[in-house]
Amino acid sequence: MTTNTNITNRTARSLRGAAIVLTATAALAGSGTAALAGDAGHDRVMRDVARSVLSVGVPGYVARVDDGRRVAVTTAGVADRATGRPITARDQFEIGSNTKTFVAVLVLQLVDRGQVELDAPVERYLPGIVANGENITVRMLLNHTSGLFSYTSDPEFFSRMEQDPQHVFTEEELLAIAFAHEPNFAPGQGWSYSNTNYTLLGMILEELTGTRMPDLVRQRITGPLGLRNTYYADPYATNTGRGYAHGYAISYAGGTPEYVDVSDRPLGGWAGAAGAIISTPDDLSRFMSAVLSGKLLSRAQLAEMKTTVELPAEFPIDGGYGLGLLRIDSPCGTVWGHGGDTLGHHSTAVTTADGRRTAVTDSTGEPAELEPNEGANRYVRVVMAADTVTICRMLGKPAPESVLADLHS
């Protein structure tokens, strides 16, 4: 569920291999079309981005960019390979770890209400659940400094999922997988992205409120903001409205992309509070804007959210991680947001510090291989470059030539 902003264990492995200069040929998936509003320059840039993303075998791509003056929407390819239905900007999709920003908002709302203390130990809220929980704080869960091993980093996790794709994991099962591994470091002594942290935060939220996560998201975020097409998969995506973008696991091992439609799998049954939300480009844009403009939190808690820990040098972007919020120091300027990878989607959602400009993207394919190969490496290189170009478009600046070179690699 991690992306270029936070990257799944599988994609991270591909990323490490992407430093090697590789050439690969991938089939164009579906017939690409683009529909945009805005100036001709924007049209050319985003059409180019869409073509490049589809060239690595991604079936469908959507980007919504609000540069503070106008909203431009690009769509390319198909939402469903079986029917050939074109993807639209109204289609719902799995947002993966963008969910973490929702969860962080819910926790910080409880801080505002005096029900949670950021620097209180996890043991206070979940007694007996986490070994060394008296030394791990809520803040450490939120900003990934707890040291807890991520259950998705277990070498057998995704293989186990493939053996029983419809299995709905309980929180206890996910924690058992995570806690079978030693911590990555002592609490507060490093930074390591861990979906386990957000599983625990979801448990804290449900324990303190007596309300299940799907209802908390609806009652405290999507309802007040009027996000009618955003919900927590429980465990499946069911309320798909006028359109749903299918997600595909793409195998590049044979040279030509091969696809498995994974959109019928129980996202909420393995991603949970770490990545189970379904949304649309419009809704996700409105949410991110609301967060950074202070509509969901007090000024004090927004300041806490934006207090970041610097990302390690080996992480594939420059920036810092706050409380469920990533600071991205892109070549065109600093933005705030998150990203998400599921079994079949790669998405990003970013905004400026004042929430006035936003960019949301979704690519409806994700490399299936656990180990990198030429096709998967090219996917990572091109899709990450596409994310950067989109940020630059949001900020009204040209992307560096080095990024454009990766986009066209």
Q: What CA–CA distance (Å, rounded) separates 95 from 276?
A: 7
Q: C-alpha distances in angstroms, 193 versus 87, 106, 150, 185, 322?
A: 31, 20, 7, 12, 12
Cβ atoms of 208 and 125 closer than 8 Å: yes
Cβ atoms of 273 and 84 closer than 8 Å: no
Q: Which amino acid is residue 196, in one-letter code?
A: T
Strands 326-330 and 277-279: unpaired
HSE-CB at 75 with a 13 A cutoff on CA atoms is 13
Q: Which residues pair with 335 in a beta bridge?
A: 328
Strands 71-80 and 258-261: unpaired
Q: How many other CB atoms sit within 10 Å of the CB of residue 88?
A: 17
Q: Considering only CA atoms, give the Rg of the chain.
A: 20
Cβ atoms of 103 and 198 closer than 8 Å: yes
Q: What CA–CA distance (Å, rounded) separates 85 from 65?
A: 23
Q: What CA–CA distance (Å, rounded) separates 267 from 262?
A: 9
Secondary structure class of 50 (helix, strand, coil): helix
Catalytically active residues are: 97
Q: What CA–CA distance (Å, rounded) separates 403 from 384?
A: 9
Omega of the bond leading into 214 within 30 degrees of 0 (cis): no
